[in-house]
Structure 1
């Protein structure tokens, strides 16, 4: 069976019908639900648990009280509210928790849960970097029913940035050319990929990335 892009992790359509984004669902009055506790590129999970039980359920775990900022409700999964919080730098794993890298193949979670972790990471990053208007520097507030923020003074609407990128499959008969980074896990490889530069077409970006990464 041909793998569809709709089925890949980090794609909302991969769990359509099971997840409702925050801009399409009402935020609960209390902070109860699944807690996705993000720290940089990692997440804190419960030890000796499996599947969804690895993600704390209920109120924010007591061990993290006063250590989490940029808390945001980012949707509902199977009817349960999902909360994301950015754990302060330097906070170590409390008893009963383990800190794991958010990367495919390095974390024991289903595609659904891994996708939710990715959304949580994006939500906390946006929340942490959108407090102030990029035009005048004053405070912003959330736009109801949308993902954006609005400046209280100049009324400028600010939305999460999208960064166009290319990914290239280089074939040689029945072989493909793969790349890898020195810090990747053993046997992990990837395709040539990179971000599109200002004023660059997708085709030009693909050619540049090929030259820079593999020189062919």
Structure 2
């Protein structure tokens, strides 16, 4: 049987340390150690011709902030992209397609996903036109950079890679997931002069699996 290739995530960022810790912890670290996914973080500054070259500059026509330049991003993607892999280059943008579970599943068919993290006032428009295969938005709001969207995309895509979550089925995988509880069975808190008990629903303690499933479906 032909072994399925793991997904390679290549993240291009101005601030690699801001995402290294998150992507190298817990389940994502275990998934990498088990060769289920591979994550590489690339510092955009490493693709400059010289120390004098800039990764950003002022926008033509005026305006606030700085704009990430085309050339270092072009060099980064050109060097990183593996022609032998089925790949996709993604630029995070507020005008992009809104990311959701369906989009996460769609992207898992690619063997290499290259993520371009914007910064400052934006990215030279020619990056979207000539480098990125698509633009993705994670919501109707603006962040200071693309690092959080990159972490979000990798985390959500990794959940759909067989073996990453172990042998159990994630409780949050179903749309409209039901409430879950753990020990202790009774928690007592104080509100003002009154004590209040927070109790686990009796049906979950009954051991009756049919009734438990029915109660969850009702949610």
TM-score using structure 2 length: 0.24
Report which structure shows greater RCO (CA 8 Å, sep ≥6): 2
TM-score using structure 1 length: 0.25
Structure number with the higher helix fraction is: 2
